[in-house]
Amino acid sequence: MPPIKETKTGYSTDVTVLEELVKMDLPEKIVPELILEHRELSKMRSGFVHPLMGAVNEKTGLIHGTFESTSTGTGRLSSRDPNLQNLPAFGQWSTRLKEGLVPRHEGNVYVAADYSQVELRVLAHLCDEKRLKSAFEDHRDVHTETASWVFNVEPELVTPELRRFAKVINFGILYGMSSYGLAARLGIGQQEAGDIINKYFKALPKVKDYVEESYKEARQRGYAMTSFGRIRPLNEVSVNPRDRGALKRIAVNTPIQGTAADIARMAMIKFFHHFEGRKNVHLELQIHDSLVCECAAEEREGIEKELANVMESAAKLSVPLKVETKWGKSLANV
């Protein structure tokens, strides 16, 4: 079938290429269709089902993963052996998989809370953009509004998948995505993509100013810095020398992603203080801007409120921090 994209060593067969081949509606379209289906299924089996089952400790019956505290450039945690921060979140197989991940004790449930639009709130705090701040003061959902704007659908009709795509747009543009990159991701022309980027910064003028100012500061100081003083020396980051914009994008991203990471860490500390001595409340997972804990089913309602309160008060920004809570008998619900 026709080549669409090149890699270093040959022709690309990634998901966008295969979907393009299906769209071309050639007699052989069954081939990319079957490869796509195979990719999805084998990713699930060899990427999640097998490693997760293999990670179950024989004696405890539990998965004992490792959270690394000092292995990212921005201050985020990472998770390994197995990675529990990248469990599938969309699609039927995601639900099936996570139905198998359950609390250690019968009668217990998971309670989870995730910061709402966290890096956009951090951005609003850092750049003092009026429109962004009032959006959060008015409890609005900027991701949904972006989805509604870009994809021309009523906010009520924005699906979770569409909203996830809006995050790519919101954060992508903020962190320096080009019209080329946006066009490729949206499947539109570069002109149209450029228009979207221009409108984005026109709607939020202080964001553009902030991006430039933030980069200038970082370059002068030699390091990027979060709201709480975490630093990332820029001479330690390695970038492809052919990519001239890379260092700027890193310098702009780090204070924001890093500030969100600082907040998440403070929330974890607060969690331990708050729930100290409560033997049936355990923190199980941290997924960058969310915490998942296990507790007795009877205590669920109270824990949900306490967890939300702990996280929302972990730091004080010039915009409110908000979390969304969920609970369930397996990770499929949270």
Ligand X SMILES: Nc1nc2c(ncn2[C@H]2C[C@H](O)[C@@H](COP(=O)(O)OP(=O)(O)OP(=O)(O)O)O2)c(=O)[nH]1
Partner DNA sequence: CATTTAAGCCAC
Partner DNA sequence: AAACGTGGCTTAAATG
Name which of 227, 211, 229, 231 is nearest 73 in CA terms. Answer: 231
Q: How far is the CB of 197 from Mn ion (least distance, A)?
A: 23
Q: How far is the CB of 280 from DNA (least distance, A)?
A: 26
Cβ proximity to DNA, 184 vs 296, nearer residue: 184
In terms of C-beta density within 10 A (0-12 exposed, 13-18 middle, 19 or more buried), how is residue 188 classed? middle
Q: Which long-range contacts (CB under 8 A, 24 or more apart) does 45-50 make?
A: 48/87, 48/88, 48/97, 49/97
- Of residues 58-117, which lie at the interface with DNA (CB under 7 A)? 68, 71-74, 76, 78-83, 85-91, 94, 114
Question: Binding segment for ligand X among 15-23, 41-49, 164-172, 229-237 (CB under 6 A)?
Answer: 164-172
Q: How far is the CB of 241 from DNA (least distance, A)?
A: 8
162 binds ligand X (CB under 6 A): no
- Of residues 228-287, which lie at the interface with DNA (CB under 7 A)? 237, 240, 242-246, 249-250, 253-254, 257, 287
Strands 108-115 and 323-328: antiparallel
Cβ proximity to DNA, 180 vs 272, nearer residue: 180
Q: How far is the CB of 77 from ligand X (least distance, A)?
A: 13
146 binds DNA (CB under 7 A): no
Q: How far is the CB of 332 from ligand X (least distance, A)?
A: 17
175 binds DNA (CB under 7 A): yes
114 binds ligand X (CB under 6 A): yes
146 binds ligand X (CB under 6 A): no
- Of residues 193-232, which lie at the interface with DNA (CB under 7 A)? none
Cβ proximity to ligand X, 167 vs 326, nearer residue: 167
294 binds ligand X (CB under 6 A): no
Q: How far is the CB of 249 from Mn ion (least distance, A)?
A: 21
Binding mask 300-319 for DNA (x = CB under 7 A): --------------------
Whether the CB-CB separation of 114 and 289 falls below 8 Å is answered with yes
The three state secondary structure string of the chain is CCCCCECCCCECCCHHHHHHHHHCCCHHHHHHHHHHHHHHHHHHHHHHHHHHHHCECCCCCCECCEEECCCCCCCCCEEECCCCCCCCCCCHHHHHHHCCCCCCCCCEEEEEEEECCHHHHHHHHHHCCHHHHHHHHCCCCHHHHHHHHHHCCCHHHCCHHHHHHHHHHHHHHHCCCCHHHHHHHHCCCHHHHHHHHHHHHHHCHHHHHHHHHHHHHHHHHCEEECCCCCEEEHHHCCCCCCCCCHHHHHHHHHHHHHHHHHHHHHHHHHHHHHCCCCCCEEEEEECCCEEEEEEEHHHHHHHHHHHHHHHHCCCCCCCCCCEEEEEECCCCCC
Cβ proximity to DNA, 2 vs 10, nearer residue: 10
Cβ proximity to ligand X, 103 vs 258, nearer residue: 258
Cβ proximity to ligand X, 116 vs 179, nearer residue: 116
Provide the binding-site residues for ligand X, judged by CB under 6 A: 114-119, 143, 167-168, 171, 175, 288-289
Provide the binding-site residues for DNA, judged by CB under 7 A: 7-10, 12-15, 17-18, 39-40, 43, 46-47, 51, 68, 71-74, 76, 78-83, 85-91, 94, 114, 164, 168, 171-172, 174-182, 237, 240, 242-246, 249-250, 253-254, 257, 287-290
